[in-house]
Each structure stands twice: as structure tokens, then as C-alpha cells.
């Protein structure tokens, strides 16, 4: 049987590009997200290229939905080799005193609690098999804090700490733990962050060439294709036109 990778948030952006890339590398894939129509579309696309796919539609904030989804995996799909914890979002870009409680909860519940809960379901199987690879999608926002980024940055700083903690705790079990930390990637990320305001979202990428989802999928492909004795701890990947979370070069 081919290796199995589970990619969360595969309905869009980095997750979808990663699923496509891992399929090209011969992985069987478990794809997750809330939008079932998109999961089914991706499933058909990949099955037409002879990749075996299992789709799980659930909200990563809901522990009962996660339990049910993971329990529904047939035996032959339970031995997950690679878990890509990608599902996540920024909601809002407001100064701390104006931030919406609902945005904060959504980010904390998705980016931190969702990642933790799903990982807790998948890790015991990896421990038993004494192998596995967990790749957490962090961000430049996990390393720096910028104006109006407050809670989103806090969630990605948490992802950084969780990644390091996982790597230490899972050391005796031969489980690799990596993170990938992108700067600006043009996906649906900014549309979601600005609550559907596409003008504001377009402005984020105006005058510069951002990264594309495929650039991050390339990095993840590199991580999962290293030999067993090599772990890539982290890859920080920026657009050429972005030097830090706040310094960008835009052409008029």
C-alpha cells in the first residue's frame, strides 16, 4: 500500500495545492475541510489520476465531528504516515481594542485547538507504528507580530511552540515534526480575513508578486521526501518582495 497523508483544509489554497503535490508523489490522501462540494470535486480530480482518496468533511473546531470523522476511517486508511495540519485562518485585522470576540474565538478554536485535537487523534497510531511525520503550517506571523495582527499572530506563535513541544515529546517514537512558515501567499486567506471584502483582499497583494499555494506545496514535498534520518524543522518562505512581516516592496 502507498503511504497515506492526511491534509486538513484541502478545499482551498495551500492545502489543496499540497494534496495535489502529494498525490503526484504517490501518496494516498485523506482530505478534509467543511465544504463538501469542494472535497468531492478534488476527490474526482485526483481519482481520475489514479490516486486513492478518502474525504472527511468536518469542522476542525468541533471535537465531536473530529471523533466521528476519524472513527469512520476504514482500517486500511488508519495508518496515517503524514499529517499536514494546514486548516486555519485569520479573521479580522483590527487593533486589539477593536477586535471582535467572535473573530478571536474562531482563530483560537481553529488554529490552535483544532490543530491540537486532530493531532491528538492521529499521534497514538504513529507512536504505535514508531513512524510518522507531522507538518504544521505556521506563518511569518508565528515569528513576528505586526499592527492589527495581534490574535492571529498569537495563534501562529502558539503553533510554533506546539511544533517544538511535539518534536521533543515525540522524539522517542521516531516521529518527525516540522513546520512551514510562509509570508504572503495569495489564496482565499485575505478574502476570509476581510470577511469577504474582495477589494481589501486584493489590496494586500497590490504591486508585488506574492507567493502562490504551489510554492508552499513544493516545500512540503521537499520535507516529506527526505530520507528517514533527516527532519526539516522549519522552513521560512517569503516572497522576494517581502523582507519581513512589515517590510514589502511594491511597484506603483
Closest residue to ligand 8X3, judged by C-beta, is 139
Binder of ligand NDP out of 189, 194, 224, 242 (CB under 6 A): 189
**For the CA atoms of the chain, what is the radius of gyration?**
18
Name the active-site residue from 117, 146, 152, 194.
152
Min. distance of Cβ 34 from ligand NDP in angstroms? 3
Judged by CB under 6 A, the chain residues 39 through 98 that form the site for ligand NDP are 59-61, 86-89
CB atoms closer than 10 angstroms to residue 191: 16
Return the DSSP state at 54: E
Give the residue among 37, 43, 30, 24 at the shortest CA–CA distance from 70. Answer: 30
208 binds, among ligand NDP, ligand 8X3, none (CB under 5 to 8 A by kind): none
Stretch that binds ligand NDP, among 27-35, 71-79, 162-170, 241-249 (CB under 6 A): 27-35
Binder of ligand NDP out of 40, 41, 188, 221 (CB under 6 A): 188
Alpha carbon distance, N-terminus to C-terminus of the chain: 52
149 binds ligand NDP per the rule CB under 6 A? no
239 binds, among ligand NDP, ligand 8X3, none (CB under 5 to 8 A by kind): none
110 binds ligand NDP per the rule CB under 6 A? yes
Give the residue among 65, 54, 63 at the shortest CA–CA distance from 19. Answer: 54
Measure the CA angle with vertex 20, ends 18 and 26; round to 5°: 100
Residue found by looking up cell 495508518 in the block? 79
As a residue count, the chain comes to 252
The answer to whether 146 is a known catalytic residue is no
Q: Which is nearer to ligand 8X3, 118 or 245 (CB)?
A: 245
3-state secondary structure of 7: strand
Q: Which is nearer to ligand NDP, 141 or 175 (CB)?
A: 141
User: What residues are labeled active site?
Assistant: 152
Amino acid at each position: 500500500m502507498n503511504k497515506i497523508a492526511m491534509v486538513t483544509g484541502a478545499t482551498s489554497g495551500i492545502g489543496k495545492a499540497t494534496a495535489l503535490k502529494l498525490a503526484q508523489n504517490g501518496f494516498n490522501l485523506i482530505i478534509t475541510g467543511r465544504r463538501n462540494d469542494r472535497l468531492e470535486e478534488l476527490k474526482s480530480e485526483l481519482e481520475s489520476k489514479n490516486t486513492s482518496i478518502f474525504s472527511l468533511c468536518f469542522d476542525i473546531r468541533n471535537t465531536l465531528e473530529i471523533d466521528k470523522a476519524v472513527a469512520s476511517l476504514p482500517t486500511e486508511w488508519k495508518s496515517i504516515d503524514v499529517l499536514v495540519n494546514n486548516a486555519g485562518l485569520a479573521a479580522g485585522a483590527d487593533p486589539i481594542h477593536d477586535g471582535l470576540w467572535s473573530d478571536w474565538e474562531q482563530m483560537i478554536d481553529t488554529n490552535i485547538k483544532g490543530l491540537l485535537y486532530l493531532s491528538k487523534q492521529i499521534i497514538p497510531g504513529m507512536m504505535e507504528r514508531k513512524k510518522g511525520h507531522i507538518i504544521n503550517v505556521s506563518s511569518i506571523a508565528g515569528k513576528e507580530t505586526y499592527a492589527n495582527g495581534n490574535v492571529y499572530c498569537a495563534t501562529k506563535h502558539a503553533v510554533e511552540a506546539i511544533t517544538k513541544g511535539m518534536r521533543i515529546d515525540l522524539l522517542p517514537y521516531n516521529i518527525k515534526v516540522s513546520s512551514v512558515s510562509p509570508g504572503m501567499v495569495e489564496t482565499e486567506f485575505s478574502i476570509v480575513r476581510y470577511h469577504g471584502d474582495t477589494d481589501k483582499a486584493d489590496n494586500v497583494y497590490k504591486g508585488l508578486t506574492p507567493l502562490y499555494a504551489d510554492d508552499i506545496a513544493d516545500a512540503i514535498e521537499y520535507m516529506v521526501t527526505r530520507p528517514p534520518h533527516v527532519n526539516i524543522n522549519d522552513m521560512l518562505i517569503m516572497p522576494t518582495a517581502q523582507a519581513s512581516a512589515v517590510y514589502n516592496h511594491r511597484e506603483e
